Amino acid sequence: EYPGAIPLVHVDLYRLEGPSDISTLGLEEYFTPRTIVLIEWADRFPQILPSDHMAIRLEYGETEDIRLLHVSGTGPRSIRMVTTMQRNLSKPR
């Protein structure tokens, strides 16, 4: 957990065996509108995710120094956030 104006929690699910391992983490307490929870390997246990969440996927580009970032929302709040990000990133600098 990283404190700040908006607390950030990082969770890595790679080594977990099953749902019983997840219940010991107490993730539900972090799923609040004022906390960012970054979960690596969330696709292994999709049942733990809130219904309205943002999914971020990284993939390799054409060369080893290029990464592609795919961001999507799964509910009203996260879709608004993705739309705002897209709008802000497309503005000329």
Residue 73: per-residue pLDDT: 96
Q: Are residues 23 and 60 located together in one domain of the fold?
A: no
Q: Are residues 41 and 60 located together in one domain of the fold?
A: no
Residue 8: per-residue pLDDT: 95
Q: Are residues 58 and 93 located together in one domain of the fold?
A: yes
Distance CA 12, CA 20 (A): 15
pLDDT-based confidence at residue 10 (cuts at 50, 70, 90):
very high
Number of domains in the chain: 2
Q: Could you tell me the pTM of the whole model?
A: 0.78
Cα of 82 vs its chain's centroid, Å: 12
**Structural domain harbouring 81:** 51-93
- pLDDT, tens digit, 9 for 90 and up, residues 17-68: 887 788 888 888 889 888 999 999 999 989 889 999 999 999 999 998 999 9
